[in-house]
Amino acid sequence: MATLRSLLALGNTKLGQAIHHFDLEAVETCPGRSRVCESVCYATRGRFHTGLVRNRLNWCLQQSRSQDFADHMVSEIRRKGVLVVRVHVSGDFYDADYATQWLSVFRRCPVARFYFYTRSWRVEEVAPVLAQMAELDNVRAWFSADVETGLPDPLPEGVRVAWLQTEAADLVAGHLVFRDRPIRQTPLPRFGLPMLCPTETPVGQRRKVNCGNCGHCWKA
């Protein structure tokens, strides 16, 4: 009997155990990447370098290029009763056709909640599709930014900005800050800053915060 391989994986250390995710190889599927994000990308290191993970990401990329990708994804989400999907722990919306397949999935699965961080807002043909995604009630869209990209302008309705800080002296902006590991222990000024992802703070780590029990990026 043929084995059906799942498009979605379930959970990881950061997401917790209840959030599904679909992933692609980082960098080659990230046309909007900056030099800053590529230089610190977690998805080019560690377990992402193992043969098993690379094989899976490559398989996912092939699936994503199929004209049936959205149909297969919708069918899997419905069959499994999936409630929350992080689109791309690694990888990004690499072109307009692929982004449009996800737009179709979002529209056809109104019960599920989808969220993503993307730098493809910097890619002219993908940006309008992202703006359509952000209009949907079941989608939480985050545009990723850093000192190199600056803030997205204009920012489509419903989109929030996730800022990557890689140097302690960097300015930060947007609605949420992720910090590169070496600077996570450096103090932040107390006022006027966006929220810091709690998985990167000592208090959040003591409280065992993960995306499932935090919810800031996908519930709010």
Which of 110, 215 has the CB closer to ligand SF4?
Answer: 215
- The nearest distance, CB 198 to ligand SF4, in angstroms, is 5
Give the SS3 label for residue 85: strand
Q: Which of 197, 202, 205, 207 binds ligand SF4 (CB under 6 A)?
A: 197
Residue 213 CA, chain-centre distance (Å), reads 17
- The nearest distance, CB 79 to ligand SF4, in angstroms, is 26
Which of 133, 209 has the CB closer to ligand SF4?
Answer: 209
Helix ranges restricted to H, the chain: 35-40, 51-64, 69-80, 96-108, 127-134, 202-206, 211-214
Q: Which residues pair with 151 in a beta bridge?
A: none
The verdict on 216 binding ligand SF4 (CB under 6 A) reads yes
Distance CA 6, CA 3 (A): 9
- The nearest distance, CB 113 to ligand SF4, in angstroms, is 12
Give the SS3 label for residue 17: strand
Helix H or strand E segment including 12: strand 9-12
Q: Which of 73, 89, 164, 217 binds ligand SF4 (CB under 6 A)?
A: 217
DSSP string, 109-151: -TTSEEEEEESGGGSTTTHHHHHHHHTSTTEEEEEEE-TTT--
The verdict on 199 binding ligand SF4 (CB under 6 A) reads yes
Contact between 30 and 164 (Cβ < 8 Å):
no
Which of 98, 178 has the CB closer to ligand SF4?
Answer: 178
The verdict on 211 binding ligand SF4 (CB under 6 A) reads yes
The verdict on 198 binding ligand SF4 (CB under 6 A) reads yes
The verdict on 214 binding ligand SF4 (CB under 6 A) reads yes
- The nearest distance, CB 154 to ligand SF4, in angstroms, is 24
Interface ranges with ligand SF4 (CB under 6 A): 176, 197-199, 209, 211, 214-217
